[in-house]
Structure 1
Amino acid sequence: MSRSLTLMPAWVPGVLRFAGVYNLTWGIFVILFPQLPFRWLGLPEPNYPSLIQCLGMVIGVYGIGYWIAARDAATHWPIVLVGLLGKIFGPIGFVYTALRGELPWNFGATILTNDLAWWIPFTAILFHAARINEARRTTTEGLTLEQALRAAETPDHRNLFDLSFEVPLLLVCVRHLGCTYCRETLSDLARQRAQVDQAALRPVIIHMGSPEQGREMLSRFGLDDVAAVSDPDRRLFRALELPFGTLGQLISVKTFWRALVDGVVFRYGFGRFVGHGLQLSGAFVIKNGRIQRALRHNSPADRTDFSQFSCPVN
């Protein structure tokens, strides 16, 4: 496992410490001067300033949480998540009350710095935390390739390790079954099936849904005779060293370009998440319990060209 997969980017502690100082400063200010912000905005001063001081206390407590999370954001990600949710629901609540005429619009002047400015960095931190925790779990709990192959069984109760000694296997690991690119992969496999068969490879789809969901998806693309292995705990994904994607890999120009401009989403559609949305996909040739060829995707939008597996495996 690459060490970079278990390290948080260098900017994360600084952002969280700054968020901590910002919240503490703002909270203390509101506690000491609860009526001053209203004066600045030209609004009537509150009749119960103690309620505003309580809000300042909550804001300050968040600051302490952010400072603690800065030490190890991957471990303390729930603090960041709760903070992000507050920064999302707060503006929603303000817009709702302002539309009802219960608050003036200029009351939301602080939303830009208190809430909106933190959406992108906090979201990025949560993406990195998920990736790092997955890498840590792989290191501490992951099975060896042989163990994972032995634990994975086809619908006829044959484990993949033993089966790979009879015929080379083409393991096609897809993300979640609602992913439009995973549906494209299954369509590509159906179209290039003759080349796969010519190479004497037995295709096996590895997915994270239930066995019934896997069979339903394969049937949609005419792959009823292809074995599907349900791997909801991602044991095979880990053993094959398929990591979670980074924020830049999952949300990129390429992802949106292929979905909208190339029309992938219009051809294959999309559905609910059945699996893990951060998981990257790939394809592998397994013979005699070992990886003979590997294709690990760097983006959900990467396309699998099965013709590269068409040469017979020695």
Structure 2
Amino acid sequence: MMTNKGVSLLELSEGRKVLLVFLRHFGCTFCRETLTELLNIREEIENEDTEIVLVHQMNDEYADQILKIYHMDDLQRISDPGLHLYDYFHLKKGSWSQLFGFKVWWRAIVAGIFKGHLVGKEQGDGWQMPGVFVIHDGEVISKFIHKYASDRPDYLNLAKTQIRKAVS
């Protein structure tokens, strides 16, 4: 798949790392929290020679409006309303407890009320789970698969994943 700037993931990952962040729907409290966290550590991630690429479920025009709010509209992103890339990376639909269990509700209160990431209108598949992959030269070299929608990956630690050198 191509990004909004017409570049393939393979091209982006040639010679550098890509932090491929699969988002939930844009109305999700945790999606909004993710965008804020990425903005806050973006420079540090990029200093690890890692480019952030977002995968979302909406069309690019809608995504651009949302990402402008978070000052992330200049990032490369992939529009995947059919969830084909989510499927390719084996990201599943969440169960009731993964999306609405006690742990998730507690984190939603913290992220939504105390951190200001209030829930919005569901835009996309609300059952789709997120995930994060580090790709280098077309290969996944690290990943974080969410067990709960409320999980918080260590994006900077993922960006620091060492590139495995080929042995000749």
Same fold (TM over 0.5): yes
Structure with the largest fraction of strand: 2
Partner residue in 2 for 1:244: 93
Matched, 1:176 2:15: no
TM-score, with length taken from structure 1: 0.49
User: What amino acid is the match of 2:152?
Assistant: R
Q: Deviations over 1:42-95 (max 9, x none)?
A: xxxxxxxxxxxxxxxxxxxxxxxxxxxxxxxxxxxxxxxxxxxxxxxxxxxxxx
Partner residue in 1 for 2:147: 298
Matched, 1:221 2:82: no
2:134–2:159 Cα contact (<8 Å) kept: no
After superposition, residues 224-235 of structure 1 pair within 5 angstroms as 224-235=73-84
Deviation at 1:239, TM superposition (A): 1.1
After superposition, residues 92-111 of structure 1 pair within 5 angstroms as none
1:180–1:268 Cα contact (<8 Å) kept: yes
Give the gaps of 5 or more residues in structure 2. Answer: 164-168
**Residues 234 and 202 (structure 1 numbering): CA distance in 2 closer, same or farther, change over 3 Å?**
same
SS state at 2:3 partner: coil
How large is the RMSD of aligned CA atoms in angstroms? 1.3
Matched, 1:311 2:156: no
Q: Deviations over 1:105-154 (max 9, x none)?
A: xxxxxxxxxxxxxxxxxxxxxxxxxxxxxxxxxxxxxxxxxxxxxxx111
Runs ≥4 residues deviating over 3 A: none
Give the gaps of 5 or more residues in structure 1. Answer: 1-151
User: What amino acid is the match of 1:204?
Assistant: V
TM-score, with length taken from structure 2: 0.90
2:3–2:9 Cα contact (<8 Å) kept: yes
Partner residue in 1 for 2:166: none
- Structure 1: distance between partners of 2:3 and 2:16: 14
Larger RCO (CA under 8 A, 6+ residues apart):
2
Partner residue in 2 for 1:157: 6
Q: Percent identity?
A: 31
Greater Cα radius of gyration, structure 1 or 2: 1
1:168–1:313 Cα contact (<8 Å) kept: no
